[in-house]
Amino acid sequence: MKNYLSMIRRKTKNVAAISTLRRGKLIILLCVFNANFLISAEEIVNPEETEIWGPIPSIIDTSSQSVPSDAIILFDGESLHHWEKIDGSEALWLIEENAFTIKPGTGDIVTKKKFSDLQLHIEWRTPIPEDAIGQNRGNSGIFLQRRYELQVLDSFNNETYVNGQAGSIYKQYIPLVNASRGPGIWQTYDIVFKAPTFNMDKSLKTNASMTVLHNGVLIQNNSILRGSTTYIGLPEYEFHEKDSILLQDHGSKISFRNVWAREL
């Protein structure tokens, strides 16, 4: 606050000096409008003038080395009470050994909670044996706000279209590298998702974006989404509000564990 006050004092002084030199009202007005530009980098002489002391970031506890204290735990290893089927009925995926596994044919599941901007950590494992190829091998997907899919696939020695391999933002962005581990091995995604925003008339204001680390490696670097994920055709935006995280049942027995989110 002290620094801001000193900057305001400087600005006021500058405006006053100029207005004394040139007395026309219009010029004074222009000087007031331009007051922000009157302080140049050279005028900052003390290191304290560029220090900011607030707001102070909240303190969170990261001592557990897995889940930060301000995270919302979406799977605690024991129940799927944070999840449900799309029709609102009970999620039927199987829980064992602190993980849950897709029960093929029972359908996608969604979080009961709806999110906007978020950080999401999720661990996943594709099944052994590798009983299929291409898009049918270990396919699932993490859909932010039910619409924007980060692909889950067994992409370890498994050829497919590259904007549909693991770590792709499906049919929109190829991952920067293929950081996939083999089937049966746990993998991680750390996602930073910025939700799209919309104008009052429900037209698009700002695009969604996604940054993703796969097994700790950057694979999507602030990728600007072109719209909702589509299987056929081109992505487009549709107006929506906060919405759930959706996990896709694509017929493969993918397992998930240690799922947590932080609202941003």
**Helix/strand/coil for 207:** coil
CB of 168 to Mg ion, least distance (A): 9
DSSP string, 28-77: HHHHHHTGGGS--GGG--SGGGG----SPPPP---TTSSS-TTPEEEE-S
Do residues 150 and 120 lie in contact, with contact meaning Cβ atoms separated by under 8 Å? no
Structure tokens at 28: 């004074």
Nearer to Mg ion, 71 or 187 (CB): 187
Please, which of residues 14-73 interact with Mg ion by CB under 5 A? none
CB of 206 to Mg ion, least distance (A): 26
Nearer to Mg ion, 108 or 243 (CB): 108
* Stretch touching Mg ion by CB under 5 A, among 105-113, 119-127, 138-146, 255-263: 138-146
- Is 196 a binding residue for Mg ion by CB under 5 A? The answer is no
CB of 109 to Mg ion, least distance (A): 14
Nearer to Mg ion, 111 or 165 (CB): 165
Pure H helices in the chain: 2-21, 25-33
Nearer to Mg ion, 163 or 211 (CB): 163
- Is 141 a binding residue for Mg ion by CB under 5 A? The answer is yes
Query: How many angstroms separate the CA atoms of 214 and 181, rounded?
Result: 10
Please, which of residues 116-135 interact with Mg ion by CB under 5 A? none
CB atoms within 10 A of CB 25: 8
- Is 175 a binding residue for Mg ion by CB under 5 A? The answer is no
Backbone angles phi, psi at 26, to 5 degrees: -60, -40
CB of 57 to Mg ion, least distance (A): 36
The residues that touch Mg ion, with contacts defined as CB under 5 A, are 139, 141
